[in-house]
Structure 1
Amino acid sequence: MRLKLAVFDLDGTLKKVRDPYVYLHQRLGTWPQSQAFFSDGLAGRIPYEEWLRLDAAMWKGVPRAHIEALFRQNPYLPGARETVQALKACGVRIAIISTGLLIHAVQVQADLGVEYVAANEILFEAGRVSGEVRAHIPEGGKGAVMEDLLARMGVRPAECLAVGDGESDVALFQRAGVSVAVAPHSDLVRTAADIVLPQPDLRPLLDRLRAFDPTLLEGP
């Protein structure tokens, strides 16, 4: 069945860095201080939005332009641009659903011509991080976002491709006709996917899709 929509995770799937929060802490010099709550957040002992707010509070006052510049330094995976453009040429609409940050996702949206993005927000006031947040996609929340997206776009799950690298992406895989795990670090992710790319490299993706089902990329 021909694909109509491809839903990508962002961090570790289209871009190299797997955790944008750790990345910002490391680049902004706040990583040591963040350890006070990092393990609690990872273990789910504090609500996801509170964890995000604690992160943002440590970046309060940082210029928006500096955050944008740091994310610009995070490279795309090999083949990311070409894969997205090739899918679009086949009539496939592109979306990003990420538990990462919207400021990063909209950069990728502009770079690649992505139709739809959903991610979490750190808020800005007078061009600087305010310390406030909007948690649109908590950990474990990608599935509901994808269901809403499919309904609004009028796309059936069988017509959708999901591509991700982490355990939160399994919810995307479960709602797609075809799923691809990119360099998965977890057996849960690996076994949930129809196709596994063992390296963080999207260049083999199109050929793997055609081998899996030649009708997927037949074009508009």
Structure 2
Amino acid sequence: MTRLHVFDMDGTLMHGSAAAIEISRQLGLEREIAELERAFAARELTPARFAALAVELWRELTEEQVTAAFEGAPWMDGIRDVWAAIRARGERCAVISLSPGFFVERLLTWGADAAHGSLWPSVPFRDPVDPAGILDADAKVRIADELCAEYGLTRADCVAYGDSMSDARLFSVVPVSVAVNADHHVRDIAAYAYAGRDLREAYELVGTAG
């Protein structure tokens, strides 16, 4: 059976952190991004507004700092192993995240078949954010549908992995889901739940299930 495994990034593949936090740490802006993260979690900011404010914060961001943020992030153990196992079974794996595409797409080198993030201006930022390019929870479903069409699959063939409110919509439309170090928004509706630092253990919950 061929399936598509869809992974969230922030809080799921990255343990207890997010791209915005790791990037801000490189710039010494931990306090400022923590306030934006709090407002976003409280639904006081839309994804597009969060992105617009983050771009203003990160005006001095360089490619070298993005690389340092990516390489220094607290990634879950075993990500490459899980994706290699998925592909060895003839299945597909993809990352869909609301975070900047220039960060998310780096995961392609780790073995993901596809990696989709929000469309941000190029680093260093000289242009404002285009709200139309910023993903939201509904966009995760749309992109998963597009990937299914590309791979000759349907939603019934999908497994979703996520941790928070932005994953709930996708969890609600696929038959198998894994809440990874998750909050109640997805933990309460997931088929499986995992807490820990090793993605291999989360994958084992569904890795060979039909």
TM range (shorter): 0.7 to 0.9
1:175 aligns with 2:180: no
Say if 1:17 and 1:23, in contact at 8 Å, map to a contact too.
no
1:93 aligns with 2:92: yes
Query: Percent of pairs identical after alignment?
Result: 24
One-letter amino acid of the structure 2 residue matched with residue 179 of structure 1: S
Say if 1:182 and 1:200, in contact at 8 Å, map to a contact too.
no
**Aligned pairs (5 A) from 1:7-156:** 7-34=6-33, 39-112=38-111, 114-124=112-122, 128-130=124-126, 132-134=128-130, 135-156=133-154
Whose Rg is larger? 1
Structure 2 distance, partners of 1:210, 1:117, is: 20
Q: SS at 2:199's partner residue?
A: coil
Q: SS at 1:192's partner residue?
A: coil
For structure 1, list consecutive stretches of 5 or more residues without a partner in the other structure.
Answer: none
TM-score, normalization by structure 1 = 0.82
One-letter amino acid of the structure 1 residue matched with residue 164 of structure 2: G
For structure 2, list consecutive stretches of 5 or more residues without a partner in the other structure.
Answer: none
One-letter amino acid of the structure 1 residue matched with residue 126 of structure 2: S
CA 1:10–1:34 in structure 2 vs 1: closer, same or farther (change >3 Å)?
Answer: closer
Deviations 1:23-67 (A, max 9, x none): 322331123345675554443344431221111111113212221
Alignment coverage as a number of residue pairs:
208
Residue 22 of structure 1 deviates from its aligned partner by 2.7
Structure 2 distance, partners of 1:133, 1:84, is: 32
Structure 2 distance, partners of 1:122, 1:198, is: 31
Structure 2 distance, partners of 1:42, 1:79, is: 28
Residue 210 of structure 1 deviates from its aligned partner by 5.2
One-letter amino acid of the structure 2 residue matched with residue 80 of structure 1: I
Structure 1 distance, partners of 2:194, 2:161, is: 10
Structure 1 distance, partners of 2:36, 2:181, is: 28
Structure having the higher strand fraction is 1
1:203 aligns with 2:200: yes
CA 1:27–1:118 in structure 2 vs 1: closer, same or farther (change >3 Å)?
Answer: same
TM-score, normalization by structure 2 = 0.85
Structure 2 distance, partners of 1:16, 1:36, is: 19
Q: CA RMSD in A?
A: 2.4
Q: SS at 2:69's partner residue?
A: helix
